[in-house]
């Protein structure tokens, strides 16, 4: 499988301050229209039906009919100066057990792997590329996140065919372990990406001890992001062309835990192994 498009955090002054914990995401992001207080709840819209799902009902490795593994940058090193090696099918890094997908990042070196790039940590980057790709819909992932300095779990989407950032990126959920409880969502386009995405988030104190629904409703007009039905960011189609709105083509889902890097920051080895547990992934589409 070819490697995915870069998801780089360009080395701007703002990015360096954010990575060091000196600035918030909001301070590094351009001001764009956001959901107003009292916005409509983020729920499956009327007239939508379930189009794709994984409820993780069968123990073992993730379902190969639904998930592939992105390992394409292991030898060269991953974007954003991240420190992990992403494994292929390997229960130590991704397994289904007791009705949950468990993605695990570990402190270990797989030096015997032919594509090992010297990494001291392992993890998994699961993708639906070639198995499930969608334009528009309501997306929901119910998950419990890892915590600890250096952890960087994410639930996000990319375009398969158009090089990043022109193809756009939709970050349903990101969390930085050194700032437990701060969850954010971002939109990357050619006009704003890397260290300068459009984004917003909120504090959810128990994200590492309890499950929450991370949600996105993507239409031709807006992309709305929320947690447990509460919107925290909305990006509107400015109708000025693909530079600011590339979101009219299919994207695929990604679940991963990155380690360190420009945004993950300094790593505390004492926290490993860490887990992201997922109870379901659901995609709803507007009924024809």
Q: Annotated active-site positions, please?
A: 169, 174
For CA atoms 8, 185, 70, 137, give the dihedral sign: negative
- Both tokens of 96, joined, read 């289904």
Q: Are 216 and 138 in contact (CB under 8 A)?
A: yes
Helix (H) or strand (E) holding 144: strand 137-144
Write out the H or E segment, with its range, that includes residue 127. Answer: strand 125-127
Cβ–Cβ < 8 Å for 241, 133: no
Helical (H) or strand (E) element with 188: strand 182-188
Helix (H), strand (E) at residue 17: helix 13-19
Residue 252 near residue 129 (C-beta atoms within 8 A): yes
């Amino acid at each position: 499988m070819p490697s995915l498009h870069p998801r780089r955090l360009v080395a701007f002054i703002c990015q360096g301050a954010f990575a060091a914990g000196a600035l918030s995401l909001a301070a590094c992001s351009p001001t764009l229209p956001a959901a107003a207080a009292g916005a409509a709840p983020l729920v499956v819209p009327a007239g939508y039906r379930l189009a794709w799902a994984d409820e993780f009902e069968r123990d073992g490795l993730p379902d190969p009919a639904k998930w592939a593994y992105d390992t394409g940058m292991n030898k060269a090193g991953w974007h954003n100066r991240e420190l992990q090696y992403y494994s292929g099918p390997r229960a130590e890094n991704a397994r289904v057990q007791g009705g949950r997908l468990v993605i695990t990042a570990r402190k270990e070196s797989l030096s015997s792997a032919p594509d090992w790039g010297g990494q001291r940590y392992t993890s998994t980057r699961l993708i639906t590329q070639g198995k499930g790709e969608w334009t528009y819909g309501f997306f929901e992932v119910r998950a419990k996140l890892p915590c600890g300095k250096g952890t960087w779990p994410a639930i996000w989407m990319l375009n398969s065919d158009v090089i990043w950032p022109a193809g756009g990126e939709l970050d349903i959920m990101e969390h930085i372990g050194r700032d437990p409880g701060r969850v954010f969502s971002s939109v990357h386009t050619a006009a704003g990406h890397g260290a300068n995405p459009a984004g917003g988030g909120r504090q959810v104190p128990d994200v590492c001890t309890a499950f929450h629904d991370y949600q996105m409703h993507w239409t031709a007009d807006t992309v709305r992001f929320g947690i447990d039905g509460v919107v925290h960011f909305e990006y509107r189609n400015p109708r000025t062309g693909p530079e600011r709105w590339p979101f009219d083509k299919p994207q695929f889902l990604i679940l991963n835990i990155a380690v360190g890097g420009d945004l993950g920051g300094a790593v505390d080895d004492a926290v490993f192994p860490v887990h992201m547990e997922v109870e379901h992934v659901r995609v709803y589409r507007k009924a024809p």
